[in-house]
Amino acid sequence: MDEFTHGDLQANGINIHYVEMGTGPVVIFLHGWPESWYSWRHQIPAVAAAGYRAVALNMRGYGHTDAPQDIELYTINHLVGDVVGAVAALGETEAVVVGHDWGAPVAWYSALMRPDVFRAVGCLSVPYNPPIGALPDGVHVNDLMRGAAGPEREYYRLFFQEPGVAEADMEQDVAGTMLGVLYTLSGDAVANGDLAEPTDGHFPIEQTMSEWLRVPTELPTWLTQADVDFYVGEIERTGFRGGFNWYRNIHRLFGGLSPFVGATIKQPSFYMGGSFDLIAGNSPEAIAAMKQALPDLRHVELLAGVGHWIQQERPEQVNAAMLDFFAGL
CA distance 80 to 260: 14
- Mapping DSSP to helix (H, G, I), strand (E, B) and coil, where does residue 72 land? helix
Residues in the chain: 329
Known catalytic residue at 173: no
CA distance 93 to 84: 9
Nearest Cα neighbor of 112 from 85, 131, 87, 88 is 131
Q: Give 155's strand partners.
A: 202
- Mapping DSSP to helix (H, G, I), strand (E, B) and coil, where does residue 82 land? helix
Cα separations (Å) of 151 from 147, 212, 245?
8, 17, 25
The four Cα atoms 274, 269, 287, 212 give a dihedral, to 10 degrees, of 40
Name the catalytic one among 66, 82, 101, 188.
101
Known catalytic residue at 101: yes
User: How many CB atoms neighbour CB 116 within 10 A?
Assistant: 9
> How many helices (DSSP H) and strands (DSSP E) are in the chain?
15, 10
The b-or-e profile of 295-306 (16+ CB within 10 A means b, else e) is: eebeebebbeeb
CA distance 154 to 145: 9
Q: What are phi and psi of 137, to 5 degrees?
A: -55, 130
Name the catalytic one among 17, 78, 202, 308.
308
Nearest Cα neighbor of 313 from 72, 110, 124 is 124
- The DSSP-derived string for 96-165 is EEEEETTHHHHHHHHHHH-TTTEEEEEEESS-------PPPTT--HHHHHHHHH-TTEEEHHHHTTSTTH
Question: What residues are labeled active site?
Answer: 101, 308
